[in-house]
Amino acid sequence: MSDLFHVTLFTLGVALLGTALILPGGVALGWVLARRSWAGKAAIETLVALPLVIPPVATGLILLKLFGRHGLLGRFFEQTLGVEIVFTWKAVVLATAVMSFPLLVRTARVAFEEINPRFEEAARTLGAGPWDVFWTVTLPLGARGLLAGCVLAFARALGEFGATVMIAGMIPGKTITLALGIYHEVQLGRDAEALKLLVISVGLAFAAVWLSERLLRRRTT
């Protein structure tokens, strides 16, 4: 029971941290994609969407090569900052963050696109600076959509498996999340334990998707 509780809490914590980590970057990128156009925009759009469509284990492999001890970023983190990533809880956060990033950016972009630019222009003509406009006009108007994006990213993070297993492994009590736990328990032949984890993950995912749907629905009506 305490194990179940621990895994659930760990998964929620990781998903929350992962979402918080990508929030500033995701919102900024969503805004830029919604409001600006430049030469290489299509390439950036495609690049950001990639983790949605390439196999999660492929993303995991890329992360492992980058953040492994001999990887470009892994070496930097370990030798300069003294932070080890692979096979620790940090790797779980990293994998979930990368996998949910596209969902957040896409939802944020739609949220910003649905705001009539005239509101922002009006604020500018009344003397507000660009940051003022963003904080007092754009952000409040897009808040519902952004929140929905966060909830979606959070839900995606809860269920992340492929990339996580590559870079974080399955270490009981250290890197096992609900999704990894289901696989792990089945491997061990403990189907009853796996079913408990399954019920929890379905419950959490249901709540998250339901919330994001409600947030998105209300805004359009």
Partner 1 sequence: MKRFLCALMFAFGAFAAGAAELTVFAAASLSDALGEIAPLYARTTGHALRFNFGASGLLARQIQEGAPADVFFSADEPRMDRLEKAGLLLSGTRRTLLANTLVVVVATDGNVSIGLLQDLAGAGVRRIAIGEPATVPVGTYARQYLQKMNLWQPLLDKLVPLDNVRATLAVVESGNADAGFVYRTDALISKKVRIAVEVPLADGPKITYPGAVIKSTQQPAAARALVEYLASPAAQAVFAKYGFLPPR
What residues line the site for partner 1 (CB under 8 A)?
Answer: 64, 68-70, 84, 86-87, 169-172, 187-189
Which C-beta is closer to partner 1: that of 61 or that of 128? 61
Which C-beta is closer to partner 1: that of 24 or that of 173? 173
CB of 78 to partner 1, least distance (A): 10
Angle among Cα 64, 13, 215 to the nearest 5 degrees reads 105
Joined tokens for residue 125:
């003509």
CB of 185 to partner 1, least distance (A): 10
CB of 176 to partner 1, least distance (A): 10
| 146 burial via Cβ count (<10 Å: 0-12, 13-18, 19+) | buried
Which C-beta is closer to partner 1: that of 49 or that of 57? 57
CB of 51 to partner 1, least distance (A): 22
For residue 201, how far is the Cα from the chain centroid? 16
| 167 burial via Cβ count (<10 Å: 0-12, 13-18, 19+) | buried
Q: How far apart, in whole angstroms, are the C-alpha atoms of residue 92 and residue 88?
A: 7
Which C-beta is closer to partner 1: that of 21 or that of 171? 171
* Diameter of the chain measured on Cα atoms: 67
